[in-house]
Structure 1
């Protein structure tokens, strides 16, 4: 009995390995549009796909970021300035993309641009939430809707960068909310576009050292939000809670991987494999901590976080 089970698992593993190694043909003729290429995952992916011979259309927020990227890549790569929070910028970038892809359509759209705010919800106001949602979720949706006709024409791919914090919310602020929204949008989009041969993949990185999580900026941004909180909120939580939160964030940043290819390899597979996965988890913390926790009963997950955290000064 056990022998048959082992053989079945081995056969399934071998079949999956074989399917995932099948690569799409004529990659050198396929265009991929990537948002958020100034730094981090987007920048690494643009250079990675360029080395593979694909035609990369890199969207950067700043001209400086675009120039630096072009200096590190071949003449095939082209760049455009894009602010995903502005409709006119998205429309202009879409038209720019259409002029380059022509009748071939857009093979890949990678929605990578993002920002983060990590803090206690009660320290924030509506504008702080809206700022993150505008980039990470609403901007992603508007870019996708504008470029979807070109992706459909190529029967291509949409790759949306979410996070393990889109499966398990560990911090307050708009980041996890936006990533939960990315998960929901991607799921509905995948089912709708399956009729047209378009595949949608979600990338769920764990902790990585990027511009968003730099040790010289993330703790200071949390401290700034604390300084803006009301005196009543500060009294309720206390300085000890703030120091503990900053220590936790610093520990997470230091523990994060600096190997961005763990994420960009997943993106590349989603764009180039004949049989891409629906979801990709990147990083051992994602695979061994965050994702297993999200499958536990909610009361148990809540108990683990309660036990691990330092309590506010006026907690019961």
Structure 2
């Protein structure tokens, strides 16, 4: 008679060619979702998420004990190899272990196997890390604010970007706020892009000080929303579109159209339990489908509109 499997690898489930050990381990007590559920989601979502991952350095938020346990970020190559996860040229970040890249469903499953829940990406691509190809505005609210205030704030930022004649794209954060991403031609340096986004933050706080804060930190955004520009520095990262968040219920950061804002129940409206319908959107319904068509840069006119000479 064949003996029961005792080796963890034998007891695992295979996802995208990767053996997921301890597949039944619950990683979110609130929903009962398991390590296997996370790995299978990333396999199903690969077609959606990889275009936003595969040519950017990725920072990995690992939660080996699940949501509620200890979590930590990993930006550089680990001592233990993650199956499928690529190591970039060490010269891109001198003095450190190589940066990481995820470019396949196998790598997504390999990351999930090693306890990775969240995937965060740089604002630049690996072939030119010194020139961002986008900036991000992260709307970070006082947690006590009603969701209607987040919708209002998002609308106001979108209106400002329209005044500046900058095309933008929107996604839920999977947490409390919204993320607005603005594509750029790769001609500006990190300092210029960060200074420009800081100018947007100051402009909104000066125009509506009762609604927006220009300073980070919980004490500085009581009753207000901080437009976080700090994610626009070299080496900083933002959670990737379609990434799961290491929060109760395992919410997902999802691209949305501005017309959907008023229908959203919150920035954590999608979770691993209801994400499949969204994943099934046809390409024609993808709110980010036109990203690659955008060609825009920062101009002196924009700086003047923000009150910066």
TM-score normalised by L of structure 2: 0.25
Greater helix content? 1
Q: Which has the larger radius of gyration?
A: 1
Greater strand content? 2
